[in-house]
Structure 1
Amino acid sequence: MIDDVSPSLSRPQRRLLRRIYNGRTTPIMADGKPFLTYKAAKQYLLGLTPEERDAAYLEMKEQGQ
């Protein structure tokens, strides 16, 4: 699946995002926006600069655990 091959997100980042968004019924907020699916979160993260991406990823990670 080509969707999983992203040079911007590392493999551990993709795995963690998949784990926290798997079967989620309540959205995770990052930068004031709700994300309910892995695909939506990944698409948002890839649209950010590397610094913004790291900050948003950490915010998602904290809320997902």
Structure 2
Amino acid sequence: MGTTVARSAARTWLGGKQREQERRMDMAELIRLRVPGLRLQRSVERQFGEMADAVFDRLAPFLDRARA
């Protein structure tokens, strides 16, 4: 779930007029395509990873209760 939210944020951040091919790329490919420089690419990947973790951390208690 967190990855889905982060991917949507990435797509919004990268712009709404993406070509169909770009919409099918995974987030790492999109970052390599759109973000200049390896250091900045790694930073952006970490930021999206942190967003995915934050979403998961917020949803985990609800998921645990739903399973119980």
Range class of TM-score, shorter chain: 0.3 to 0.5
Q: Structure 1-normalised TM-score?
A: 0.41
Larger Rg: 2
The structure where helix makes up a greater share of residues is 2
